[in-house]
Structure 1
Amino acid sequence: MAAKLARAGRDVSVIARGAHLERIRTAGLTIRSPESGFSVRLPASGAIDDFAPFDVVIVTAKAPGIPAIARAIGPHLGDDAAVLFATNGIQWFYAEGFAPGGEALDTRRLDPDGDISRLVGAHRSFGVVVRSSNVVVEPGVVSNSGGGSYALGGALPGGWRRAGEIASLLDVDGARFTATPEIRREMWGKLVRNTAVALLCGLTHATPGEAFSDPGTRPLARLAMREVSDVAAAHGFRDLLDLDAELDVVSRMTAMRPSLVQDLELGRTVELDAQVLIVRDFARQAGVDTPTISALAPVLEQKARLAGCY
């Protein structure tokens, strides 16, 4: 995302760490894709203070790292700053200004100490649902194997106009930003697939294509997708996907490595809360039966915990 914005002439800087940061500083940021590749030079640092204050911050770290990022950027955010969370799953602000059926939702696992809410705040926050598959194949080099579209919406109902302004600023060749008044619907539309992928691929380390095409696990994938759809419907989001068509699409994804599997294999903290366990929480709160998710989630949770990844 940063590379494509920089290539289009936007004033963008990146915060990175370790060898990734050093490579970007010395050789630029390189993008590889089936269609083409390119490199760009852009300001990079490991210190937030080097680029403060900010107009727009795009947070592309995994969900478990966001509270620490909130503590770092919070002191540098003016009232008009916009913070975009380009993360998987249900995003931390989901329950801000949203209470399906009039019942308050419990989303504490997404912001356990309230740091994101306190230091960033929903009034500055926007969600980004990413439809782009990427892997850092070596420091400073990102392989994009498909997609480059992003749905952008405000955390609060009144954020629609500003979301449109930000989307216009960020919409460049190869990174297509579209503003939406229904960012929560977009989250569920992706989560129907991602929760099932996380459960099956996280437990087997299969690719999505392998897990969704195998005659033994394909029925489990469909059941998990159906259950996520039922939970979404309890929140008012219906007719998200044709499940059988989606199963066929995912069955062809034999080269993609799901991010949760990448994290497990590298010993990094997994996005289990945002992609799986929050769905189980919502199901329990809404009285929706999710036997497949309820059976598989504790197994994946234990696996991740024993691996030091949760």
Structure 2
Amino acid sequence: MRVAVLGAGAIGAYVGAALHRGGTDVHLIARGPHLDAIRANGVKVLSPRGDFVAMTPATDDPAEVGPVDYVFLGLKANSYASCGPLIEPLLHATTTVVAAQNGIPWWYFHGLKGPYEGRRIESVDPDGEVTRVLPLERAVGCVVYCSTEIEGPGLIRHLEGTRFSIGEPDGTTSDRCLEFSAAMVAGGLKCPVETDIRNDIWIKLLGNAAFNPISALARATMVEIARHHGTRATVRLMMEETLAIAAAVGCHPAISVDKRLDGAQRVGAHKTSMLQDLEKDKPLELDVILAAVVELADLTNTPAPTLKAVHAVTDLLSTKVGTA
């Protein structure tokens, strides 16, 4: 079993190091000083579960790796459409792409029985650009419940969580999911194979769709948003609207808004990924996290006034990122 991690950033390098520790033949695709450090000294992981070093092969040229059985996609979703030249050398006829992305994936309606089966979500797959690069039959969903950060080149700080839920778009328990799950578990991670991965998608999205844009607009941490009366009320409305949209497309995640808000407050002074990207003047991952939710609201005629208002303002903000 050969695995390539395309986008060996904080999450990707951590997963790659864990897979290597478990005995998988894994190759990291990275760049810059981070790549240089990995080549020289491997990936060093600092974790409350125990520090370790993984001497994983690493390159910035996927052609040096060649075809693999699995590609763990650690890129931000807004770069999927342009990743063709990077991923093509890694593919053979049955290569599986495990996409560890936030928000609504490009494959969302693939294999989902019901009135929207096979429908393309334009916000995340405009004109089918992502599907052309990442064919639907290759996709396995992955929802990340893990927090890591790059503390320095080749140095990954694991903060909390080891769960990577995976699942087939059609809800089956496939051999490829079971094989990948076993490799992750051998490396010390949790990797349950879910028959309804969309449930996990909406549970995580319930927080991301609200906290990420609000954090970027207010330059605020999770605990600041949860404790401020006005933003807490706004997040509550956004979460309630998100749950209604999920129900309209046939998903009913069993989680309360109050529990989600209280959990966010306990996280403390944590900056969301969108706020971190904003501070680094990087493109905001807005399409899959919020624009897609608004698109599904329109598709299902579900009222979403708060989501739409916050999306409009954050979308304007996103046009100013990278223009300074």
TM > 0.5 fold call: yes
Quote the Cα distance in structure 1 between the aligned partners of 2:89 and 2:167. Answer: 24
Please state how far the C-alpha of 1:165 moved relative to its aligned partner: 2.7
How many residue pairs match? The answer is: 309
TM-score (norm: length of structure 2): 0.89
Quote the Cα distance in structure 1 between the aligned partners of 2:192 and 2:32. Answer: 33
1:261 to 1:16, Cα distance in 2 relative to 1, 3 A: same
Please state how far the C-alpha of 1:125 moved relative to its aligned partner: 1.1
Task: Report the residue type matching 1:168 in the other structure.
Answer: A
Deviation track 1:18-48 (CA, whole Å, cap 9, x = no partner) reads 1111111112112223343222211000001
Quote the Cα distance in structure 2 between the aligned partners of 1:161 and 1:8. Answer: 19
Match of 2:224 among 202, 210, 220: 210
Partner of residue 68, structure 2: 54
Quote the Cα distance in structure 2 between the aligned partners of 1:220 and 1:43. Answer: 46
Contact kept in structure 2, 1:160 and 1:181, CA below 8 Å: no
Aligned residue for 2:109, secondary structure, equals coil
Deviation track 1:76-104 (CA, whole Å, cap 9, x = no partner) reads 42222111101111111112223643576
Contact kept in structure 1, 2:143 and 2:200, CA below 8 Å: yes
1:96 to 1:70, Cα distance in 2 relative to 1, 3 A: farther
Quote the Cα distance in structure 1 between the aligned partners of 2:126 and 2:199. Answer: 24
1:89 to 1:38, Cα distance in 2 relative to 1, 3 A: same
Unmatched tracts of structure 2, length 5 or more: 1-14
Quote the Cα distance in structure 1 between the aligned partners of 2:116 and 2:54. Answer: 49
Partner of residue 67, structure 1: 81
Contact kept in structure 2, 1:123 and 1:155, CA below 8 Å: no
Matched, 1:277 2:279: no
Quote the Cα distance in structure 2 between the aligned partners of 1:75 and 1:14. Answer: 14
Partner of residue 5, structure 2: none
State which drifts further: 253-262 or 110-119: 110-119
TM-score (norm: length of structure 1): 0.93
Contact kept in structure 1, 2:141 and 2:168, CA below 8 Å: yes
Partner of residue 95, structure 2: 81
1:277 to 1:115, Cα distance in 2 relative to 1, 3 A: closer
1:2 to 1:255, Cα distance in 2 relative to 1, 3 A: farther
Quote the Cα distance in structure 2 between the aligned partners of 1:289 and 1:253. Answer: 30
Contact kept in structure 1, 2:26 and 2:57, CA below 8 Å: yes
Matched, 1:302 2:320: no
1:178 to 1:18, Cα distance in 2 relative to 1, 3 A: same
Contact kept in structure 1, 2:66 and 2:89, CA below 8 Å: no
Please state how far the C-alpha of 1:184 moved relative to its aligned partner: 1.5
Match of 2:189 among 175, 184, 201: 175
1:10 to 1:133, Cα distance in 2 relative to 1, 3 A: same
Unmatched tracts of structure 1, length 5 or more: none
Task: Report the residue type matching 1:218 in the other structure.
Answer: R
Partner of residue 163, structure 2: 149
Contact kept in structure 2, 1:79 and 1:124, CA below 8 Å: no
Contact kept in structure 2, 1:152 and 1:180, CA below 8 Å: yes
Partner of residue 307, structure 2: 293
Match of 1:101 among 108, 115, 126: 115
Aligned residue for 2:72, secondary structure, equals strand
Identity %: 31
Contact kept in structure 1, 2:23 and 2:187, CA below 8 Å: no
Quote the Cα distance in structure 2 between the aligned partners of 1:269 and 1:179. Answer: 31
Matched, 1:31 2:45: yes
Deviation track 1:285-307 (CA, whole Å, cap 9, x = no partner) reads 10111111111111111112112
The equivalences for 1:15-30 within 5 A come to 15-30=29-44
Quote the Cα distance in structure 2 between the aligned partners of 1:152 and 1:103. Answer: 20
Matched, 1:184 2:219: no
